[in-house]
Amino acid sequence: MTTLATLPIVIPLLAGALALALGRSIAGRRTISLIASGASAAVAAILLVAVDNDGAVVVAVGGWTPPFGIELVADRFSALLLVASTVALFAVLVYAVSQRATDEEFRGFHAVYQILGAGVALALLTGDLFTMFVAFEIMLTASYVLLTHRADGTETRPAISYVVIGLVASALFLISIGLIYGVTGTVNLADLSVRLDAVPPGLRSGLGWLLFMVFGIKAAIFPLFFWLPDSYPVAPTPVTALFAGLLTKIGVYAIIRTQTLLFPSDEPSTFMLVIAGLTMIVGVLGAIAQTDIKRILSFHIVSQIGYMIMGLGFGTVAGVAAAIVFIVHQIIVKASLFLVGGLVEESEGTGAIDAVNGVARRSPIIAALFLPAALSLAGFPPFSGFVGKLALVEAGFAANAWIIVGVSLAASVLTLFSMTKIWAGVFWGTPNTTERRITPRGMALATASLVAFSLVIAVAAEPIVSYAERAADDLIVERIIAAMPEGVSS
């Protein structure tokens, strides 16, 4: 049981080391990487069931009794996100392997990819603030390498701004940890949730907003999102899809984890709701102004983050549950949309809307993959985005937050508009050339499996929403018990 919670971190780390050791054999690297990602996804699924049935799993790493040692905690919230992340990691890996170019050009691709996976798992499973910093660094350093390895002369600037912003955010994270440790004398999350109660409210909320800003940079909320649409589109498709699906959501995970556990509030947070609304609107307006598929989708990442912050801002169990469902939906759908964008680029040579026409006629498969993913992003019934948005809207009505619900619906309409812009520009019309290009089957299959997974979320909406409600209940109502290992009294 306890090994189960360490496996999602250990498997990719070992696989990364092996992939490095295998240096020359590309087939070997691919096999190791695929096996490791598949195994992580399977372990995550088992962990999810185990955690849901028997409660949170707590592992004291190295045998040190909490709160002194490093702890891994898998509760319902982290287990669910772990499943979504590992599934996305696996599907994107299959795509990258069948695309061939990405991992043939860059020998270290699989090693770095696995290390990124390990960082994501550690960020989700860690039970203390400093280990979360280390996890973020593992994840970000791997992402720096993935983003920059191909960067030629013209592309270094966006890559550099990504690294610099990441470093500044890390420094701020360290400073917040230092201040929190100075005030409370601990970095263990469960222990902090108790000790912060003794801290004066002004100081406590100051620390809370500092952490919110740190994770806000990672999550790309308004007004801290400018680096994202700038840097993401320059990477190879599998890398962009992975970043889009995972990295910002891990930031949102950290926001939800720390805000609910350390800085809980019983009433809706007006500040958070305002930020959420601005993130949605500014992000979607940015998307409308763009003319390249990947850039449009990058702005939508920002816009959709607003919905998650909105769910958290309601401060209710229903709101957080809706945010959790929405994160899971976004991890899958965002990654699959970028993969479809990559398919278009692969078969047409460019992703510029003006330059591509009639993809629906040339490659109906790509069109058939884009449509459900795009409608899902816009929140069209019966796709997975609808499930998340419906839950958010209901939570908003329950919290009497009419304005933000209206804003979110307006942003949805604009999202739909932006998706129809891609559809009309890229998929409709007469093809420019009659030259046939073949879409690699593995890439289409990987994309299709992610799209299918998002449809599963829509079909299995009832169990997923009720699971998310249990997870949110753990976070908000029983916030201490969920993370505090048994035998350690508060």
Partner 1 sequence: MTWTIAITAGVLFGAGTYLILQRLLSRIIVGLGLIAHAANLILLGSGGAPGEPPLLDEASAGPYSDPLEQALVLTAIVITFGITAFLLALAYRSWTEQGSDEVEDDREDLRIARRREAKP
List interacting residues with partner 1 (CB under 8 A).
130, 133-134, 137, 141, 144-145, 148, 151-153, 156-157, 159-161, 163-164, 167-168, 170-172, 174-175, 177-179, 181-182, 187, 230
Residue number with CB closer to partner 1 (227 or 453): 227
Q: Work out how close the CB of 81 gets to partner 1 at its nearest, in angstroms, rounded to a whole number.
A: 24
Residue number with CB closer to partner 1 (108 or 431): 108
Residue number with CB closer to partner 1 (161 or 449): 161
Instruction: Quote the CA–CA distance of 385 and 375 in Å, as a whole number.
Output: 8
Residue number with CB closer to partner 1 (87 or 163): 163
Half-sphere exposure of 91 (CA within 13 A, CB side): 31
Residue number with CB closer to partner 1 (230 or 394): 230
Instruction: Classify burial at 477, counting beta carbons within 10 Å of its beta carbon; exposed 0-12, middle 13-18, buried 19 or more.
Output: exposed
Residue with tokens 């449009």: 296
Q: Work out how close the CB of 278 gets to partner 1 at its nearest, in angstroms, rounded to a whole number.
A: 20
CB neighbourhood size of 239 (10 A): 27
Q: Work out how close the CB of 67 gets to partner 1 at its nearest, in angstroms, rounded to a whole number.
A: 11
Dig out the tokens for 27 from the structure.
């087939």
Residue number with CB closer to partner 1 (137 or 394): 137
Which residue blocks in 26-70 are alpha helix, DSSP H?
26-54
Q: What is the DSSP-derived secondary structure letter of residue 57?
A: E
Which residue blocks in 185-269 are alpha helix, DSSP H?
189-195, 201-219, 227-231, 237-242, 248-262
224's enclosing H/E stretch is: none
Q: What SS3 class is residue 106?
A: coil
Residue number with CB closer to partner 1 (350 or 420): 350
Q: Which residues contact 292 (CB under 8 A, 6 or more apart)?
A: 233, 351, 352, 353
Q: Residue 488: phi, psi to the nearest 5?
A: -105, 115
Q: Which residues contact 487 (CB under 8 A, 6 or more apart)?
A: none
